[in-house]
Amino acid sequence: MQMQRIEGITDVLRAVKAARRGGRRIGLVPTMGALHRGHAALIERAAGDGCFTVVSIFVNPTQFGPNEDLARYPRPLESDLQVAMAAGADVVFTPATAEVYPPGFDTWVEVGGELTARLCGASRPGHFRGVATIVLKLFNMTEPDRAYFGEKDYQQLQVIRRLTRDLDLPLEVVPVPTVREEDGLAMSSRNKYLSSEARAVAPWLYKALKTAAEAAAASERNAGIIRRHALEVIASQPAFQIDYLEIVDGDSLRPLDELQPGAMMLAAVRLGGTRLIDNIRL
């Protein structure tokens, strides 16, 4: 079947219900567009799982802060459609902002506690409220059995898992491993903002994370010592400005003093005007 592009909420729900009547499970891949190989991996996973695969493309204004890059966020729709089709999408859903947030809209979803208060939540107030709200709306619009999210945005992944659990949503959240460039840089739509000089420095973030993982693999359990190993690598590149570099519990994201099973190192840095995030399991 040829891939469809659908703009209206009523229309996408009709397509989903028809697929379900035909015995298909529904897989949702929520994106903000500017699709790359990381997004393609999500779509391929959903299609490979046998799902009727819906890829949403919606640049969500409610997750951007007042000084962030909403206006210049890339919107290459034609190339996005090609990526989605090549990866196996059945539907690309491109709702208009006015339909998603009609006049008078004022209902919000918030996941509370440390899961959203720290890390990206501390430097991007309101970000996860916008994420949780749009994700729940997309779940309602497309009624998926499975929803696919990349592990690069690890805090976002945990927020969505908590949202799904706390609200008893009848779907499975499927994490998909981070896709990287050959030099280790995590794929991101924002990488295209990097100057050539910044792009040459950017892979050092992953080198720092790998250094931490190597220390953990060598039986170091003290989180402070492991963190110092990573900081030394980042400090070797003065262009980096650290937002955070923390070792946390993989489920609750609470900071750890000693490693325990499932521990993660999460990082966010600024390089020029671009914010990069990444993580590694310790």
| 71, 29 Cβ separation under 8 angstroms | no
Q: How far apart are CA 77 and CA 67, in angstroms?
A: 24
229 is catalytic: no
The DSSP string of the chain is ---EEE--HHHHHHHHHHHHHTT-EEEEEEE-S---HHHHHHHHHHHHTTEEEEEEE---GGGS-TTSSTTTS---HHHHHHHHHHHT-SEEE---HHHHS-TT--------SHHHHSTHHHHSTTHHHHHHHHHHHHHHHH--SEEEEETTSHHHHHHHHHHHHHTT-SSEEEEEPPPB-TTSPBP-GGGGGS-HHHHHHTTHHHHHHHHHHHHHHTT--BHHHHHHHHHHHHHTSTTEEEEEEEEE-TTT--B-SB--TT-EEEEEEEETTEEEEEEEE-
Amino acid occupying residue 64:
F
Selected catalytic residue, list 36, 39, 127, 229: 39
Q: Which positions are catalytic?
A: 39
